[in-house]
Amino acid sequence: MAFDLPSLPYSRDALSPHISEETLNFHYGKHHQAYVTNLNKLIDGGPMADAGLEDIIKDAAGDPSKAGVFNNAAQVWNHTFYWHSMKPGGGGAPTGKIAELIDRDFGSYDAFKEAFSTAGATQFGSGWAWLVLESDGKLAVHKTPNAETPLTIEGATPLLTMDVWEHAYYLDFQNARPKYIETFLDELVNWDFANQNLADAG
C-alpha cells in the first residue's frame, strides 16, 4: 500500500505574499513529493510495506541500517505537520488552551516567541523547530536536525513545527532565516492546529 502526497490544507498561493506560490511549487510539489516517492520505493516488498507512517518512523528511528527509510518517512510526516502549522491570515498571539499553557510554562507569549525563534535560528544547517507537549504535561521548545522528529520522544506530543531547511525560505527570504521565522510567527502560525493537537492528546 503506497503512500500518497497528502493534500495541502490551502491553495499553493494562499500563504502569499509571505510564502510564495513558487516556494510551495518546489517545497510541496517537489521536495515533499520526493520524500513520498522515495519512501514508497524503499518499503516496497519489505516488512513495513503495509505499515502506517508513524509505525514506520518509530521502527526505523535510531537504526543506522534503516536511515533511508527513517529520513524519508519522517520528512513525509514532518512536512504534512508543517503545512497544517500555518494558515492564511494566521500569526500573532494564540488563544484558547494553548495560550493558557504558553503563559503557564514560558511566562508569556513574548518569552515563547523568543525561545521558538532562537531554536529556529540556532539549528545549525537543516532542521526543524517544534512546540511539544512533554510527557510531564508541560510545553517545551525543541530543535531537531535534518529529518529528526519529536514523534520518537516517548510520551511527547508535537503541537506545531517550523521547517528551517533552506528550501523552506530561500526563494522568498534568501539567507534571512530570522526574517522568515518572524514572518512565520507574526503572519502564518496556525494556533487552531496547536489547540486541536492539544485536545487530541487529551
By beta-carbon distance, which residue lies closest to Mn ion? 163
Of the pair 28, 112, the CB lying nearest Mn ion is at 28
CB of 9 to Mn ion, least distance (A): 16
Query: DSSP labels for 136-168?
Result: TS-EEEEEEETT--GGGSTT-EEEEEEE-SHHH
Site string for Mn ion, 125-164 (x = CB under 5 A): --------------------------------------x-
* Near Mn ion by CB under 5 A: residue from 165, 169, 180, 193: 165
CB of 48 to Mn ion, least distance (A): 23
Quick one: which segment of 48-56, 83-91, 165-173, 176-184 binds Mn ion (CB under 5 A)?
165-173
CB of 79 to Mn ion, least distance (A): 6
Q: CA 19, CA 59: separation in Å to the nearest integer?
A: 34
Burial pattern 96-123, b for ≥16 Cβ within 10 A else e, equals: eebbebbeebbeeeeebbebbbebbeeb
Q: CA 15, CA 87: separation in Å to the nearest integer?
A: 7
Quick check: 172 binds Mn ion (CB under 5 A)? Answer: no
State the pairing for strand pair 157-163/127-133.
antiparallel
Cβ atoms of residues 33 and 5 within 8 Å: yes
Count the residues of the shown chain that bind Mn ion, applying the rule CB under 5 A: 2
Q: Which residues bind Mn ion (CB under 5 A)?
A: 163, 165
